[in-house]
Amino acid sequence: MNLREKWEDQAGQWLAWARAPGHDSFWRHHGEQFSRLLPPPGVLTLDIGCGEGRLSRQLAAAGHKVIGVDASPSLIAAARSADPSIAVTRADAAALPLADRCADLAIAFMSLQDVDAMPAAMHEAARVLKPGGRFCMAIVHPLNSAGRFESLAPDAPFVVRGSYLDSFTFSDAVERDGLSMTFHSAHRPLQSYFAALEDAGFLIEALREPSIPEAIVARDSSRRWLRVPLFLHLRCLRP
Ligand SMILES: C[S@@+](CC[C@H](N)C(=O)[O-])C[C@H]1O[C@@H](n2cnc3c(N)ncnc32)[C@H](O)[C@@H]1O
């Protein structure tokens, strides 16, 4: 199975995980951290790899006209039934069924590390954006996906046992608060993402490396994450 098929296979688990109130990092801090990077609503916003549609719904509530795109038939069906007023379509990020230069904002929130043909998806994002449009993306930080902490202790060593510079796929089975989810993803070094952006013609305008905010760390056992970024955020200009 490729990554796209593995995500369809996990659709039921993802639905439960993504929608459980306050469960996923999206609800605890990440959605708000990412929203700071976004330009205001324009004519059309694409949510590439929209999943069950939680970000599409937030964007629509903030005044964006949104089209959500995802490869998983089950997640697209869930997004459509959660809010039928938001247009969603089942497609691969590497072959968007959209006209050239139709949008002024394309978003890929936590999807590109799960997309098999990531460079082709970047090209598609550039193709559907108008000149002057923005591409905003969040991924698992490549340092994070290259290694892991040896324990939960605040000063636990973070160890890269394989190679940061190689690309590889991996599956991370996580259990928390009675929910289980297997994340099927690719680790790619930063230069893979930046080469794809360069090749697609994007100019990088802003870069953030968010981790768990201090206020949340103070309440749980995640203090080790103050030393290593969880995510990478980029805002890019399509000239
Ligand atoms: C971690 S989930 C994020 C979903 C959504 N952005 C969110 O935050 O709720 C990754 C998503 O990428 C989608 N995906 C994986 N490969 C894809 C591809 N080739 N084209 C489009 N979507 C894909 C999966 O179906 C899944 O919905």
pLDDT in tens, 195-236: 999 999 999 999 999 999 888 887 767 999 999 999 999 999
Given the CA of residue 108, which atom of ligand 1 is nearest to it?
A: 6
SS3 (DSSP) at 144: helix
| Residue 221 confidence (pLDDT) | 78
CATH number at residue 128: 3.40.50.150
65-79, 121-135, 190-204, 205-219: least confidently modelled range:
205-219
Q: Could you tell me if the CB of 51 is within 6 A of ligand 1? A: yes
Q: Which of 82, 74, 178, 218 shows the shortest CA–CA distance to 66?
A: 82
Mutate to test the pocket of ligand 1, among 1, 3, 7, 19 (most ligand atoms within 8 A of CB): 7
Kindly state whether residue 157 falls inside one of the protein's structural domains: no
Kindly state whether residue 214 falls inside one of the protein's structural domains: yes
| Residue 215 confidence (pLDDT) | 85
SS3 (DSSP) at 104: strand
Kindly state whether residue 179 falls inside one of the protein's structural domains: no
Separation of CA 117 and ligand 1 centre (Å)? 12
Given the CA of residue 49, which atom of ligand 1 is nearest to it?
A: 22
Q: Could you tell me if the CB of 9 is within 6 A of ligand 1? A: no
Kindly state whether residue 162 falls inside one of the protein's structural domains: no
- The token duo for 98 is 């959209």
Is pLDDT above 90 for 13?
yes
| Residue 46 confidence (pLDDT) | 98
Kindly state whether residue 177 falls inside one of the protein's structural domains: no
Q: Could you tell me if the CB of 114 is within 6 A of ligand 1? A: yes
| Residue 113 confidence (pLDDT) | 98
- The token duo for 217 is 């760390």
Is pLDDT above 90 for 98?
yes
The boundaries of the domain holding residue 210 are 3-140+191-237
pLDDT in tens, 142-184: 999 999 999 999 999 999 999 999 999 999 999 999 999 999 9
Q: Could you tell me if the CB of 3 is within 6 A of ligand 1? A: yes
Question: pTM for the full model?
Answer: 0.97
pLDDT in tens, 26-69: 999 999 999 999 999 999 999 999 999 999 999 999 999 999 99
Kindly state whether residue 24 falls inside one of the protein's structural domains: yes
SS3 (DSSP) at 165: coil
- CA-to-CA distance for 91 and 68, rounded, in angstroms? 10
Kindly state whether residue 62 falls inside one of the protein's structural domains: yes
SS3 (DSSP) at 7: helix
Q: How many domains does the chain have?
A: 1
Kindly state whether residue 51 falls inside one of the protein's structural domains: yes
